[in-house]
């Protein structure tokens, strides 16, 4: 029997020198103290930051959260770039920030995270949508299709223990709900500190396990606004959530694994007739078991057992073919992840980013963090309830998917968007898929109603910005502008 670990691994103040904060982390109410509203310690302009040392950002209403940030002149010489850490007691989350290539003084802010859990967003930065692309272990090249074309953008290594993020004593978070509290605090500190960004539209974006992360993170940020307003602090203008090839509903994804292997919905049937007959029988049992154990009444052990059965019978046969899980038309692997690890471990690059010399080697994916999330059953939850509640509150949601992905394929993602219960379900489900175009070329299909959009990108894999850079940039620029695809 394949262990569930298999599928998770494959899824989807004034300028101060840094002094380490050894305060232990407390409860959320202790970490975000809204009991005595106060004015910010200081506000800054990004342009005033030093490239030689970190500037610490803090606020009395966030007594155990602070941030360090510096100019870094990294990746894209055409814009100002910054790196730093969100410090939560003894936990430290690393981030990159790039200003917009168009109008940084007015353009919206996008927050990007990769999935895993435990996958560094340096992958998104350097092999997908960032200002530069890795082209060898020692070199990057300008990316004309970067998403900072018309947006200011963050890339963050989260949860703690991912990429360059670290903890002083090895402690971490092991659930998406706990990780959401740190992200919400960081966002609040940033917008409170930098006056030039107050009121800007804010968008959460990501792929793969971000289908679990982002609905929860966005909900935490939205709910936190009431506390910020009561404390006379800057509220976050949360405009939308963008999820690419996401893992939002694990159980609904299982039937799609059978469909894409045993029909021509993506490529030709990949399995023998006898295997497809067995898988079809397993799907019925899989759906019945996961509905009872994971949906109707959540039971961690029974839900995990159900998922393990589904993986063994429906997912493992695909891996046995040797095909690339991120692109069903390819075999094996990508070169870029190994290049990125080698590049980010160069002393000169680490110095530019401000990585402490005592920090160990950069590792693109943390298997220990992934295992910790698995043991807490984090991947077993259904997240479309969060999506529905965000839509009800006027937060737009874009679910996009490359058509060649297997592990978080478009079939399963379309299914949950159509079946999700919310006030716009009937109107959304009743809309037919229509073509959408880039430069008079048909590049995909889309369905949209009442703030929810589903989009297929023809020929894209799990990492759409890597595979279809021009199409993905057009998509995101139209989305940020509030236009139809």
- Tokens (6 digits) for 440: 């008079």
- Dist CA 18 CA 86 (whole Å): 12
Question: What is residue 461's DSSP assignment?
Answer: -
CB–CB of 323/271 below 8 Å?
no
Alpha carbons within 13 angstroms on the beta-carbon side of residue 123 total 25
How does strand 441-449 pair with strand 396-402?
unpaired
Q: Is 450 left (phi over 0), alpha (psi -120 to 50) or beta?
A: left
- Catalytic residue from among 203, 381, 404, 462: 462
Instruction: Write down the catalytic residue from 208, 240, 256, 472.
Output: 208
Contact 234, 188 (CB under 8 A): yes
Clarify whether 208 is annotated catalytic: yes
**Over the chain, what HEC string results?**
CCCCHHHHHHCCCCECCCCCCCCCCCCHHHHCCCCCCCCCCCCECHHHCCCCCCEEEECCCCCCEEEEEEECCCCCCCCCEEEEEEEECCEEEEEEEECCCCCCCCCCEEEEECCCCCECCHHHHHHHHCCEEEEECCEEEECCCCHHHCCEEEEECCCCCCCCCEECCCCCCCCHHHHHHHHHHHHHHHHHHEHHHCCCEEEEEEEECHHHHHHHHHHHHHHHHHHHHHCCCCCCEEEEEEEEEECCEHHHHHHHHHHHHHCCCCCCCCCCHHHHHHHHHHHHHHHHHHHHHHHHCCCHHHHHHHHHHHHHHHHHHHHCCCECCCCCCCECCCCHHHHHHHHHCCHHHHHHHCCCCCCCCCCCECHHHHHHHHHCCHHHCECHHHHHHHHHCCCEEEEEEECCCCCCCHHHHHHHHHHCCCCCHHHHHHCCCEEEEECCEEEEEEEEECCEEEEEECCCCCCHHHHCHHHHHHHHHHHHCCCCC
Active-site annotation holder among 365, 405, 467, 472:
405
108 catalytically annotated: no
Helix (H, G, I), strand (E, B) or coil at 196: helix
Active site residue 42: no
Active site residues: 208, 405, 462
């Amino acid at each position: 029997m394949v262990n569930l670990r298999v599928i998770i691994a494959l899824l989807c103040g004034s300028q101060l020198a840094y002094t380490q904060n050894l305060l232990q982390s407390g409860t959320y109410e202790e970490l975000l103290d809204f009991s005595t509203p106060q004015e910010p310690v200081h506000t800054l302009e990004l342009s005033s930051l030093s490239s030689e040392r970190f500037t610490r950002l803090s606020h009395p209403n966030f007594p155990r959260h602070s941030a360090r940030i510096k100019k870094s002149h990294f990746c894209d010489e055409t814009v100002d770039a910054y790196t730093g850490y969100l410090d939560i007691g003894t936990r430290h989350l690393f981030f990159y920030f790039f200003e917009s290539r168009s109008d940084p003084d007015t353009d919206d802010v996008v927050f990007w995270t990769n999935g895993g859990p435990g996958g560094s967003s340096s992958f998104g930065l350097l092999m997908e949508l960032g200002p530069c692309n890795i082209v060898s272990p020692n070199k990057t090249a300008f990316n004309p299709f970067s998403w900072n074309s018309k947006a200011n953008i963050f890339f963050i290594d989260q949860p703690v223990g991912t990429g360059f993020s670290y903890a002083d004593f090895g402690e971490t978070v092991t659930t998406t709900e706990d990780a959401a509290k740190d992200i919400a605090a960081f966002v609040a500190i940033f917008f409170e500190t930098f006056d030039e960004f107050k009121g800007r539209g804010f968008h959460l974006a990501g792929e793969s396990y971000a289908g679990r992360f982002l609905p929860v993170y966005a909900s935490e940020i939205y709910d936190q606004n009431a506390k910020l307003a009561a404390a006379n602090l800057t509220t976050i203008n949360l405009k939308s959530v963008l999820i690419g090839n996401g893992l939002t509903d694990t159980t609904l994804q299982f039937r799609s694994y059978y469909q894409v292997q045993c029909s021509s919905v993506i490529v030709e049937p990949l399995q023998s007739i006898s295997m497809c007959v067995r898988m079809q029988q397993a799907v019925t049992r899989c759906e019945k078991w996961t509905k009872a154990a994971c949906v109707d009444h959540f039971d961690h052990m029974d839900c995990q057992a159900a998922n393990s059965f589904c993986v063994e019978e429906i997912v493992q046969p695909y891996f046995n073919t040797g095909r690339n899980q991120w692109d069903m038309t390819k075999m094996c692997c990508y070169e870029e992840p190994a290049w990125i690890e080698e590049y980010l471990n160069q002393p000169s690059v680490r110095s530019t980013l401000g990585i402490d010399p005592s920090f160990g080697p950069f590792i693109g994916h943390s298997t220990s963090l992934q295992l910790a999330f698995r043991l807490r059953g984090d991947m077993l939850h259904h997240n479309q309830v969060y999506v529905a509640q965000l839509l009800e509150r006027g937060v737009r949601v874009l679910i996009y998917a490359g058509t060649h992905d297997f592990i978080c394929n478009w079939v399963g993602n379309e299914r949950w968007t159509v079946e999700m219960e919310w006030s716009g379900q009937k109107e959304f489900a009743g809309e037919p898929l229509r073509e959408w175009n880039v430069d008079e070329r048909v590049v995909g299909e889309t369905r949209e109603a009442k703030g929810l959009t589903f989009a297929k990108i023809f020929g894209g894999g799990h990492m759409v910005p890597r595979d279809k850079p021009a199409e993905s940039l057009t998509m995101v620029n139209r989305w940020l502008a509030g236009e139809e695809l």
